[in-house]
Amino acid sequence: MASLVKVGYLELAQLRDRLEKLQQRDLVKFQESLVTELAERLLKKAAKRTPTGLRESWTLGSVHYANGYYEVEVYNNGENASNVEFGYRREDNRESVPGCFMLRISEKELEQDADKIVEGKLMKLLRGAFHD
């Protein structure tokens, strides 16, 4: 059974205009803000796991786009941050101190949540684009 659907030219033109706007301007802003938000969440998660003396040394770099990927560096420039993250051997070489893996654990945690975060933000963007 066939049915007839009528679509006016005006509605198609509006849809085209919204898609062009979304593609040209809004999508780049969306991607950059999403990368920044994910990096901020990672920073907060890592800071919670970090010993008190190093917590305030966590920093976010700026967002860069290269070769089809967005990147932002999350790092701790504290004096012993690397030793605390990965562990180290004491000076007397008799005992090793295990790492805390603050960043590594936080990255794995964020990977589990990332799909939900991206989906929620994307749905919000699309609702805004199509339901003015």
pLDDT at 40: 97
For residue 108, give both structure tokens: 């794995």
CA distance 129 to 132: 6
Low-confidence ranges of the chain (pLDDT < 50): none
pTM for this prediction? 0.79
CA distance 125 to 130: 9
pLDDT at 39: 96
End-to-end Cα distance, the chain: 35
Domain residue limits, the chain: 37-130
pLDDT at 65: 92
pLDDT at 12: 74
pLDDT at 14: 78
